[in-house]
């Protein structure tokens, strides 16, 4: 329990890896839940530091905090703790939460570019939800089929509006079973990428994957890195590799992930039912 009026001093960031810190250390950041989130965030950043050091990596991957199941109030706390990227996997929940958070943060989350909160949609997406997601998210990590891409092209932001950065979700199981768990067959990447790159209002960000449940994560992430290198031969700007969750972020850091999606180890266990 923190009883001192001074906030605990944050760990000094190592110079080469600008580790994000709290932007508001005032009264509001001192409630017990904020302290818990701050401690969990620090522990995750320590793991990232160690995973980077282990492979001699200098470029720090971006942490996306996955807030699914948790309330808008936690997103606001995270924003005060310096988090600028959050992830959600269900449109209905995310749309309501994004609206609630915007109402609480007001211009504080939009006036200055560094304060803007970015919503990443990371879940399987039905085509009829494309328009809704574009309303609040600026990154979509789960483009995995032609029918969804058609809907995105139709709903795409207009010139002058914020473009939607699209990542192609890859199914790393080999061979790819057709059980609808989400993710494109690697053979489909080139075609999806070409169509995203050609679509006004959409930007090709790169690749995303979830490690297969049945197999170790490291070889899967190594393969994802190879697929990313192949993609970049045609689309050099598509540098994002979104991989790594609470249980396997070290393997993802070791294999070049640029974006980590961490939920449980920051927010705590999710309830079993929504
Ligand atoms: C929930 C989720 C995560 C976060 O997983 P944790 O194990 O809670 O860190 C990451 N990626 C996707 C696609 C998710 O649905």
Q: Is 68 close to ligand 1, i.e. is its CB under 6 Å away?
A: yes
Best residue among 68, 69, 89 to mutate for probing ligand 1, ranked by most atoms within 8 Å of CB: 89
Put simply, whether the predicted model's pTM sits higher than 0.85 gets the answer yes
Burial class (CB in 10 A: 0-12, 13-18, 19+), 159: exposed
Q: Is 118 close to ligand 1, i.e. is its CB under 6 Å away?
A: no
Q: What is the pLDDT of residue 15?
A: 45
CA of 262 to the centre of ligand 1 (A): 6
- CB-CB contact of 70 with 101 (8 Å): no
- CB-CB contact of 96 with 124 (8 Å): no
CA of 231 to the centre of ligand 1 (A): 24
Q: Is 66 close to ligand 1, i.e. is its CB under 6 Å away?
A: yes
Q: What is the pLDDT of residue 27?
A: 59
Burial class (CB in 10 A: 0-12, 13-18, 19+), 24: middle
Indicate the DSSP class of residue 184: B
CA of 188 to the centre of ligand 1 (A): 24
SS3 of 212, please? coil
Q: What is the pLDDT of residue 179?
A: 84
Q: E strands along the chain, which residues?
A: 62-66, 85-88, 118-121, 139-143, 164-169, 202-208, 240-242, 259-262
Give pairs for 198-202: CB < 8 Å, separation 24+: 199/149, 199/152, 199/153, 199/156, 200/156, 200/159, 201/156, 201/157, 201/158, 201/159, 201/161, 201/163, 201/164, 202/152, 202/153, 202/156, 202/163, 202/164, 202/165, 202/166
Q: What is the pLDDT of residue 69?
A: 96
Q: Is 123 close to ligand 1, i.e. is its CB under 6 Å away?
A: yes
Annotate 135-146 with b (16+ C-beta within 10 A) or e (fewer): ebbbbbbbbbbe
- CB-CB contact of 242 with 258 (8 Å): yes
**Which pLDDT tens digit goes with each residue over 179-238?**
878 899 999 999 999 999 999 999 999 999 999 988 899 999 999 999 999 999 999 999
CA of 243 to the centre of ligand 1 (A): 10
Measured from the CA of 66, which atom of ligand 1 is nearest? 4
What residues in the chain have per-residue pLDDT under 50?
Answer: 1-16
| Unique residue bearing structure tokens 């690697």 | 186
Domains and CATH numbers, the chain: 28-267 (3.20.20.10)
């Amino acid at each position: 329990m923190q009883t001192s009026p001074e906030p605990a001093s944050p760990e000094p960031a190592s110079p080469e890896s600008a580790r994000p810190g709290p932007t508001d250390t005032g009264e509001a950041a001192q409630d017990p839940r904020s302290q818990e989130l701050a401690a969990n965030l620090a522990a995750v950043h320590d793991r990232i530091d160690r995973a980077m050091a282990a492979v001699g990596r200098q470029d720090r991957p971006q942490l996306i905090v996955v807030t699914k199941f948790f309330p808008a109030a936690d997103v606001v706390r995270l924003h005060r703790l310096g988090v600028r990227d959050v992830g959600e996997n269900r449109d209905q929940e995310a749309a309501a939460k994004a609206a609630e958070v915007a109402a609480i943060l007001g211009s504080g989350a939009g006036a200055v570019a560094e304060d803007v909160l970015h919503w990443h949609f990371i879940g399987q997406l039905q085509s009829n939800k494309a328009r809704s997601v574009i309303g609040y998210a600026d990154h979509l990590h789960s483009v995995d089929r032609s029918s969804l891409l058609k809907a995105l092209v139709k709903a795409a932001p207009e010139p002058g509006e914020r473009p939607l950065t699209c990542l192609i979700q890859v199914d790393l199981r080999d061979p790819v079973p057709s059980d609808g768990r989400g993710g494109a067959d690697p053979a489909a990447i080139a075609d999806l990428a070409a169509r995203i790159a050609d679509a006004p209002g959409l930007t090709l960000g790169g690749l995303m994957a979830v490690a297969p449940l049945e197999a170790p994560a490291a070889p899967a992430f190594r393969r994802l890195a190879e697929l990313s290198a192949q993609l970049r031969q045609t689309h050099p700007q598509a540098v994002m590799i979104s991989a790594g969750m609470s249980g396997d972020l070290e393997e993802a850091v070791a294999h070049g992930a640029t974006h980590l999606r961490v939920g449980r180890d920051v927010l705590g266990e999710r309830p079993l039912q929504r």
